[in-house]
Amino acid sequence: MSRPGTSLDLVSGLALAGAATLSVVRPRHVAAVAASPLVPFAARLVRDNAARLLPERPRRRIRAPRLQRLRLWRWPITRQAGRRLNGSAAMLAFSVLADSAVEHYRGAFQNRAMYAPLVVATLTLGASLFGRADTRSKKHQARDAIYAAAAATGFTGLGFHLYNILKRPGQWSWLNLFYAAPIGAPMALALAGLIGRGAERVRDASPFRPAAILGWPAGRSLAAVAAAGLAGTVGEAGLLHFRGAYHNPAMMLPVTVPPVASALLGAAAARPGPRLNWIARWWLRLTALLGFAGVGFHAYGVSRNMGGWRNWSQNVLNGPPLPAPPSFTGLALAGLAALSLMEEEIDG
């Protein structure tokens, strides 16, 4: 301790001892001095002078909070997730475009509304490819509008397909579910629109806050959408493979692998954790590969029809549908992007 500091401590100690002794020996004098109007003035004067004499404390350097620094560091991951979601929407839009073109051509476009999904799916595919190549971190108004139109068209198409089933004799029956308009097909376009809109919201998020959709964390919201989409696609594949009596053991794969991926992704959306996310990621990758492999299996199924690929103009219409399996790939890619966003939310 320095010498001036020791002297001040000694003086202050003597003053306190003297004040205590005076208050015991002469309490009346202490009370009179305390009631004097000069005491507040003297106290204020001492306080002001002491504030000037004391050395000024060095100001602490204000640093950005750790969360903001972490968000800035992980911001490229968010942008990459947005572009991957655009790619997922592109895969779904391509599947819808090719599948609806074949199926509606087989139906001879009896209803003029059957042209709508082709037009909207083409616009969605173009917007998604543009979004996948766009490196900017803000949403695009035209892309967002196209995605909204795709979602609306998908839900409207679901109503048309339900009407097509219910207007037939027997209405809700296995025969009509097997051979009428596929009930779940329009939902692929709706999912492309929903995932695309989610991609635009992720791209437009602030670098200092996790991305959110309607007030909910974007990662968990998109994971729930992808999990529900996988479950619906499994139902559609299971129905059509049941119509085919599962004559090939490989037909069991779309109703065994993707359901596990859907359950794991849904569980990760409800209660995310590092281990669960890791397991869901690997199962989603397997599901994405299954979507590509399904095209090969369906191509083999076309070749087994009478005339094989030499009679392709008829056998491609008869099926199995070549563009259907990539829907699993598109939804799996959306789930992988959602997992990366959820991990960012956990680390943040």
For the segment 281-337, what is each residue's pLDDT rounded down to a tens digit? 999 999 999 999 999 999 998 988 888 888 888 888 887 888 889 999 999 999 999
pLDDT at position 253: 93
If you average pLDDT over residues 218-230, what whole number do you get?
91
Determine, yes or no, domain membership for 25: no
Does pTM top 0.85 for this prediction? Answer: no
Spatial distance between the Cα atoms of 44 and 49, rounded to a whole number of angstroms: 9
126 — pLDDT class (breaks 50, 70, 90)? very high
List the structure tokens of 126: 């173009």
Determine, yes or no, domain membership for 35: no
Q: Which of 46-50, 227-231, 234-238 has the lowest mean pLDDT?
A: 46-50
If you average pLDDT over residues 51-63, what whole number do you get?
46
If you average pLDDT over residues 244-254, what whole number do you get?
90
CA 193 to chain centre: 14
pLDDT at position 23: 52
The more confidently predicted of residues 18 and 89 is 89
Query: Could you give the C-alpha distances from 24 to 34, 35, 36, 53, 194, in angstroms and in order?
Result: 15, 17, 19, 33, 84
Determine, yes or no, domain membership for 11: no
pLDDT at position 50: 44
Spatial distance between the Cα atoms of 89 and 77, rounded to a whole number of angstroms: 18
Spatial distance between the Cα atoms of 219 and 337, rounded to a whole number of angstroms: 8
Determine, yes or no, domain membership for 56: no
Whether 276 has a pLDDT exceeding 50, the answer reads yes
Determine, yes or no, domain membership for 328: yes
pLDDT at position 26: 55
Whether 233 has a pLDDT exceeding 60, the answer reads yes
Spatial distance between the Cα atoms of 45 and 299, rounded to a whole number of angstroms: 95
Bridge partner residues of 213 (DSSP): 216
- The tens digit of pLDDT for each residue in 135-144 reads 777 778 899 8
Q: What integer best gives the mean pLDDT of the chain?
A: 80
- Whether 339 contacts 222, CB under 8 Å: no
Counting the structural domains of the chain, the total is: 1
List the structure tokens of 224: 């729930």
pLDDT at position 67: 44
Residues belonging to the chain: 348
CA 14 to chain centre: 71
Whether 61 has a pLDDT exceeding 50, the answer reads no
Domain span holding position 269: 72-347
Determine, yes or no, domain membership for 84: yes
- Whether 324 contacts 330, CB under 8 Å: no
- The tens digit of pLDDT for each residue in 175-198 reads 888 888 888 888 999 999 999 999
Determine, yes or no, domain membership for 146: yes
- The tens digit of pLDDT for each residue in 22-54 reads 555 555 554 555 555 544 544 454 455 544 444
pLDDT at position 39: 47
pLDDT at position 290: 93
pLDDT at position 123: 95
Whether 121 has a pLDDT exceeding 60, the answer reads yes
Give the residue among 229, 333, 232 at the shortest CA–CA distance from 281: 333
Determine, yes or no, domain membership for 3: no
